[in-house]
Amino acid sequence: MERLQKVLAQANIASRRKSEEMILEGRVKVNGKVITELGFKVNKTDDIEVDGKPIKLAEHLYFLLNKPTGFLSTVKDDKGRRTIMDLLEPAHKEIRLYPVGRLDYDTAGLLLLTNDGDFTNHMTHPSYHIEKEYLVRVKGIVIRKKIVELRKGVTIDKNYHAKPKAVRLIELNKDHQSTLLSITLVEGKNKQVRKMIEALGYQVKNLTRVRYDFLTLDGVERGTYRPLKIHEVKKLYAHSIAKRID
Ligand code: URA
């Protein structure tokens, strides 16, 4: 059972706020009866009409996007910058899709998109400890001692102890004076990887999310996306529940 305004928003009738207005204005009927109560709950089998027209409940869609840098992980931007919506096919732009969590404007890689709010809540709830792996190219040579320090955790945001699940050294490039690290996190503070690298005394050259739980970017070119398979969605749900730490 879901609240009527949520169902209207999910069916792409209007935003949640606008849907509430429509209910209060007496424009919405459930099973032939006008409903003006905002807390009213409906289920999938109820007949819902708006302004006398039956609505079709939106099916849930899930996509895996390989985000390029230079795109915001938002639906729109007041300053007119490009957003991930600019990467979608016209038919998908019409669906109210939104990102599951965020990647920075300058971060590339794996980002999930969906119109399923419940799924998003599951994936982004702080008590769910889903692994996210990042490849980070760091300016300069990261010495062994610093990698050990990073593994133990570093302080970010003044007093937060950020401890990665795993840190691997992938490449030391003496010619270009850079280091490639893989960092796996089970939490997602704002700009966490960048802040951790800065706390260590280094700068990030570029950052890519390469894994989200068991999902990788395999077969998905930068700037393109693919639908998730139903078994992948189910597996994410199952993992998020199994990994929940209350
Ligand atoms: N950590 C960051 O610093 N940025 C991201 O976009 C994701 C994780």
Look at the domain 132-212 and name its fold: Pseudouridine synthase (3.30.2350)
**pLDDT given for residue 244 in this prediction:** 61
Tens of pLDDT, residue by residue over 31-85, are 999 999 998 998 767 889 999 998 877 688 999 999 999 999 998 888 989 999 9
Give the closest residue (by CA) to ligand 1 atom 7.
Answer: 103
Ligand 1 atom closest to the Cα of residue 102 is: 6
Q: Which of 104, 157, 213, 218 is catalytic?
A: 104
Per-residue confidence band for 246, with pLDDT thresholds at 50, 70 and 90 = low
Indicate if the alpha-carbon torsion angle 169, 171, 173, 178 is positive or negative: negative
Q: Does residue 213 have an active-site annotation?
A: no
Ligand 1 atom closest to the Cα of residue 185 is: 8
Whether CATH 3.40.50.10790 fits 62-127+217-242: no
Tens of pLDDT, residue by residue over 101-144, are 999 999 999 999 999 888 998 898 878 889 999 999 999 999 99
Q: Which residues contact 37 (CB under 8 A, 6 or more apart)?
A: 23
How many residues in total does the chain contain? Answer: 246
107 lines ligand 1 (CB under 6 A): yes
Tens of pLDDT, residue by residue over 145-154, are 999 999 999 9
Distance CA 73, CA 84 (A): 6
192 lines ligand 1 (CB under 6 A): yes
The domain spans of the chain are 2-54, 62-127+217-242, 132-212
Count CB neighbours of 173 within 10 A. Answer: 11
Per-residue confidence band for 14, with pLDDT thresholds at 50, 70 and 90 = confident
29 lines ligand 1 (CB under 6 A): no
Q: Write down the pTM of the prediction.
A: 0.80
Query: Which stretches of the chain are assigned E, i.e. beta strand?
Result: 2-3, 28-30, 33-34, 41-42, 48-50, 53-54, 62-67, 98-99, 107-114, 132-139, 154-156, 160-162, 166-173, 178-185, 203-212, 215-216, 225-227
User: Which superfamily does CATH assign the domain made up of 2-54 to?
Assistant: RNA-binding S4 domain (3.10.290.10)
pLDDT over 90 at 93, yes or no? no
User: 245, 147, 129: which is closest to 196 by C-alpha?
Assistant: 147
Per-residue confidence band for 243, with pLDDT thresholds at 50, 70 and 90 = low
Per-residue confidence band for 245, with pLDDT thresholds at 50, 70 and 90 = low
**pLDDT given for residue 20 in this prediction:** 93
